[in-house]
Structure 1
């Protein structure tokens, strides 16, 4: 693989980590959903470039699935759910933005140190992609534990899954059957999430997890 191909792959995978930080920074639900769509676009570009570099045509299907569902279908559906439920548009946080961003920087540094040491025997592109992928996974987990709103936690979970896709493609691709199953899993998860959020809103008049805990305590 020539130097230019490596640099482009490095740039796009690094961009995915940068967009993950931008997800952590958002304090409005619609902006968060738009940023998740951007993350999906960057992931699709990364997977598409890996398909070209590895000469793996089946990865183009993964890129197309990611672009269609994660960059368009899911963000649009969540936009409509938020508007339909009249959910509070601000993202409720457990920890303030600055400490969260500092924690994110620490997690990315840890990912780089650990993964680059563990994968010393792999080729350079796979090593760096796996390090970036672990960073995206950990930032997705960080979003899930620092956000109280159910919608933002769903976005954090899907961001985590984006990191897993990056890891799978960086490690010389994944079978087509896995890609198709991922697409169906995303669709099923979206349907379940939509039903879940509607039921929560109908029962408790809120999707703030703290409010749900307080309501559960009162019911006892």
Structure 2
């Protein structure tokens, strides 16, 4: 049973790292949002598995938050906003895909070396989960650094939080993970709202509803 728990836990964490690479590869906003939704689904599965093997019911709340808000609500809302505002759907990158992917592989190797050495005395299951979690965090930071589009940077920030949640659930005895997840989700919501208010103001020079209606010709 311990071997099965070990294998499934690491498989889910490894899939999260692979999906993080998929996010690095995307050059279209819709595709990036779809990949992020998949990232959140796998995170929810990983947290659910940790809740089962640790006998920690509070982690089911964290899994539910990831599944409902990050895999469904936020991607769907961003899809609609992008479509309604006519935001440019191609993602401008600082570097090409090839150099970015090579940098990502280097960050994963670095995170594995550092984390496995730092946590040498920890439980084997927690050690490797933390190494995978650090890889997700670093890849998410790379997404934020190499993308010029504000929406893609928000997606990178949200995937970074997924890595932090994976780290918190992989290390036993962290009961504040639910509160941390909720706090980050609220912060993300405010960031998303702020970005699109700025976008509206940038496009229409106002966020006043009456001014926006006049710009659309609906009021005299």
Q: What TM bracket, shorter-length normalisation?
A: 0.7 to 0.9
Q: Does 1:20 align with 2:20?
A: yes
What displacement does 1:173 show?
A: 5.0
Distance 1:195 1:107 in 2: 30
User: Larger Rg: 1 or 2?
Assistant: 2
Superposed counterparts of 1:172-191, under 5 Å: 172-175=172-175, 178-191=177-190
Structure 2: which 5+ residue stretches go unaligned?
205-220
What displacement does 1:174 show?
A: 2.9
Say what the alpha-carbon RMSD is for the aligned residues. 1.5
Deviations 1:90-147 (A, max 9, x none): 1110111110000000000000011001101011110000000000000000001000
| Counterpart contact for 2:41–2:67, Cα < 8 Å | yes
C-alpha distance 11-157 of structure 1, shift in aligned 2 (>3 A): same
Name whichever of 132-141 and 56-65 sits farther off: 56-65
Length-normalised TM-score, structure 2: 0.88
Report the count of equivalent residues. 204
Length-normalised TM-score, structure 1: 0.88
Distance 1:195 1:5 in 2: 41
Distance 1:78 1:87 in 2: 11
| Counterpart contact for 1:33–1:75, Cα < 8 Å | yes
Runs of 4+ in 1 over 6 A off after TM superposition: none
Superposed counterparts of 1:85-124, under 5 Å: 85-124=85-124
Aligned to 1:9: 9
Superposed counterparts of 1:62-73, under 5 Å: 62-73=62-73
